[in-house]
Each structure stands twice: as structure tokens, then as C-alpha cells.
Chain A
Amino acid sequence: MKVLVPVKRVVDYNVKIRVKSDQTGVDLANVKMSMNPFDEIAIEEAVRLKEAGKATEVIAVSIGVAQSTETIRTALAMGADRGILVKSDETVEPLAVAKILKAIVEAEKPDLVILGKQAIDDDSNQTGQMLAALLGWPQGTFASKVEFEGDKLLLTREIDGGLQTLKLNMPAVVTTDLRLNEPRYASLPNIMKAKKKPIDEKTPADYGVDVKARLQVLKVTEPPQRQAGIKVESVEQLVAKLKEAGVIG
């Protein structure tokens, strides 16, 4: 079984982002970039499938600027076998990403695509579902457990209020939630080995996909700031204040 894992280069989750003063976007200059955390979970799951003898090859794909190669290297250091970089200097929206991934799936013929449920930059939460739609495959989103039952995928998902289990035909698209696994840190020898693993370079045009944005970003602004209130000295005072504010009692 071949597994394809798309990974995205995003601002590191520990960085406090700054909105540009001209409101055109978020300042990415000199900011630490990392692999989207949900995508790390996706790579981890794919590598575990390989270690368990279920997957034969894990391919990491990234779509974005040239530096996305670093993100692919991280995936290779975690245990992916080879990479594909689809280079674009433009922002590629989820629908266009899904179209590029569809073309890659048609070329590579994986049995499973595992990807993060959302990227922590644009927070869209769309790509996996869109890819499944375009391929006509089932989708197992927000997965917290992935098992196999015969030729089907038994998938447990995080839903509002609890957990849901689905049985999916294969091939399938799976998107990861936080509790699926805990991603490993790449060891130094594996980081060295990853440098020798192959990465193919492509462009969206190679796949015949038009990446022109459908959504025009008119502006990006700071959220309204919340003012810190007061410190109360005791529980009695707290309860009195809450009564005064009319939120209890």
C-alpha cells in the first residue's frame, strides 16, 4: 500500500504573528516556519503504517514557495521515502491544492492519502474533503484512530459531543485530529539520511491546474483587543461582582 501525505509550511505554532500595518496580510519576514502540526501527525501515522508492514511507500508532497523543500525534508527525516515539491510563489487556495493533489494521486496511485485536518495559518479545514470529492473517494475527517478491517478502513473520528466510527471503502482520504498519535522527533542520523532522499520538483502548470485565487483578500486586520479587567481579592468579592454584572443569581 502506497500512502501520500501532503504537508504545508506554515508559521510555527509558537510564534505570535503580527498583522502588517498596511493590512495586506501577516508579516512572514524573519518568522520561524515549521510543518503544520496536523501534517506532522499525518506523516507520523503514515510512517507507523510503514513500520507495521502495512504501507510500502510514503510520499510527502508540499505545494508552495521553494523553501517548502525544508518541510518535505522534515517529513523525509521522520520516515517518508521521497518527496514532491509543487512550486508556487502565489497563495494556492484549498480548492486548487486539492486539484493539484488529485493529479498527483492519478499519477502515483496511492491507496491512502493522509493529511492534516486544517492548516494553522488560514484555518480553512477544506483540502482533504475537497480532494476526496474530486477523486470520488470516501473521507474520514478528524481521525483519532485508523484501523484496517479486511479491505476497508475502520476510522474513529472526533465529532462534537464524542466519537464516531465509520467504515470506509479504500482508497480513501483521511484527515488527522490531535489525538491520532504523537509525532516523533527526527533523529540526527535520520536527518542526515533524509538529505539523500529524492525530491521531485514540479509546478502547478505541470498538472494543468489554474491556481488563480477565487477569494480576493481585501484586508487583514488585528482582532479587537480585549481589555484586562480588575483583580478581585477574594471569592466573596468575585461572587458580588458577578451578581452585579448580572451573569449569575
Chain B
Amino acid sequence: MTTLVIAEHNNQTLHDATAKVVTAATKLGGDVHVLVAGQGVDAVAAAAAKLAGVSKVLVADDAQYAHRTAEPLAALVVSLAGSYDAIVAAATTVGKNFAPRAAALLDVQQISEIIEVDAPDTFKRPIYAGNAIQTVKSTDAKKVITVRTTTFPAAAQTGSASIEKIGAAANPGLSEWVSENLTKSDRPELTSAKIIISGGRGMQSGDNFHMLDKIADKLGAAVGASRAAVDAGFVPNDYQVGQTGKVVAPDLYIAVGISGAIQHLAGMKDSKVIVAINKDEEAPIFQVADYGLVADLFQAVPALEQELGKIGL
């Protein structure tokens, strides 16, 4: 059995989602190879080669993979698939985009967002926004899998895999990358942050999110939001935590002015410690919070900032 993991990166650095996918891939048994497709990706390939459990890194360095658009990336994966029993990617917007395309070209029914490997052909995955867990057994000879990375630990950086350059596949030439508008932030990314502070509709405006920024700066945290806050236009969509946004599982999640709609809980309930600050003591968020504070956030958040200052943060 040999598994091909598709690396997640930005041409410069390897995203830590890949280290988690490698952990999931090693649970399938057998060899694990990593495909780094991109442009100018030597550093990414070197980082992938260090992941424990990886025996070989394949590097496809070509302009058509610079932005990991689905059509060329799926074509490349399909061209390599003959040598592999399983193809595994992170359930990020890149993985979700190309993996089903590759699966269909291989006539495989993909298994999306697995959270557990029960056997090389049997997996657990959340359905209904995480309100039920389905155990499925794949009858396809080849598996195409996406992994919910929050549930797998990162592979250690103790490996020393070989690196092999491979050629590009024929470019389907169906689409063209035009531009990207990425939110610039000095703070950690939501999906990899150890601490997240999120605001909901209770924040009342986008300006009020600056209160959360100050706490985030003290804690080295990322700032997130509920869908209600995004829909109200307080913050951009990429802040969104929840079933329709990002699924996160940090060590500490602080929910401020968030009532706790099912769709939000689905995105954060695997966090290790959850804090809720809300003035409505009946808010459902308190049912999942380890520490609940019933208070007006406009008093509690500045007080929290002060209190953190007192302990030297």
C-alpha cells in the first residue's frame, strides 16, 4: 500500500495542515509520499521531506501549479495515481477544490473530511454540520480522501525523505488565475492558531472588533467571528468560524457576544477550552463552554484586557 499526500503550501512555506494529513496518511499503513506542486517550491519540498513517516517527496515545479488551481492540479494527481492506493489531501479550500475533480476522473467516490481512520478502507466523518458521525467503508479499489486536519496531530519533523523532481502533466488550459486578495494580518491563521477570540452579532459593529484585536495581541491569538457577524458586515468572510466557515480546534477559544447557533458550534466545539462571554445567560454557547461569564461584553472585554496586563501579558 502506498499513499500520496498532496502538500498544502504558498510556494514558500509548507502549511502545517500537511503535517497533520501525513499523520492521517500513516494510519492507512504502507509508504507515504508527498506531492509538492507549485512554482519555486524548493523550500517547501525540503520541509515536506522532514516530516516523519514520509519516504519520498515528489516535486512538480511549473508555472501552471503556482496557484494550485483545480484543473491542472487534478490532472497532475490523476497522472500519478496509477502508482498509489490512496490519495489524501487536507480539507482546505485547495483540497476541497481539486480532490473531487481528481476522484471523478479516477471514477472513485471520494470520502470527505475524515476525522478518524478505523481501517485502511473505513473512516469516520461528520455529517449534518457535525451533529452526527458517519462510519463509512469504501468499496473503491483506490481511495481519494480529504482530511479534517483539526483532529489529527502534526507529524514530527524528524524525517529525511528523498526528493525527486517530476515533470508537469499536460495543462487542461480551462482556467486562468487572475488575482488574489488575501487578508493581511500579523496574527496567526485561524486554522493553526493555539488561541482564538471570536466575536458575534453582540459586537454591534466592525469597529468594536478592535477590542478583540487588543486581546488577541496580548495572547498571540487569531481573531474569528460567527456567521451572524459576517452577515452583518462587521468583518470579512474569512474570519468566519463554523460549518460554513472554518473548522477550528485551538487550545483556547473565547466566544464574545456569540449566542452559539448550531452552525457556529459545529466549527469550534472540538476546542480544548472554551470561554463564553455573553449577557444572555440562556445563550446556547454556555452549554459547551468550560468557563462562562454572564456579562456585558463592552465592560468584560476591556476588563479582560486589563486583567491580562496584570499577569504580564
Q: Which residues of A contact B (CB under 8 A)?
A: 11, 13, 16-17, 19, 26, 93-95, 98, 120-134, 136-142, 144, 154, 157-169, 177-179, 213-223, 226, 228-232, 234-236, 238-239, 241-243, 245, 247-249
Contact = CB atoms under 8 A, between A and B. Distances in A.
B304 A139 contact: no
A214 to B, nearest CB: 4
B217 interface: no
Contacts of B177: 164-166
Interface residues of B, number: 94
Interface string B227-246: 10001000011100001101
B13 to A, nearest CB: 13
Contact of B237 (A121, A144, A215, A236): A144
B158 interface: no
B178 interface: yes
Nearest to B144: A126
Contacts of B122: 218
Contacts of A249: 311-313
B293 A161 contact: no
Contacts of B126: 123, 223
B195 A141 contact: no
In the A-B complex, the 7 residue pairs with the smallest Cβ-Cβ separation, listed nearest first, are: A229-B290, A138-B174, A214-B109, A130-B104, A129-B100, A162-B182, A133-B104
Nearest to B128: A17
Main secondary structure of the interface of A (DSSP, over half): mixed
B78 to A, nearest CB: 9
B175 A169 contact: yes
B175 A166 contact: yes
A165 B237 CA distance: 15
Given A11-B128, A178-B237, A214-B140, A248 B219 contact: yes
Contacts of B304: 235, 238-239
A215 B137 contact: yes
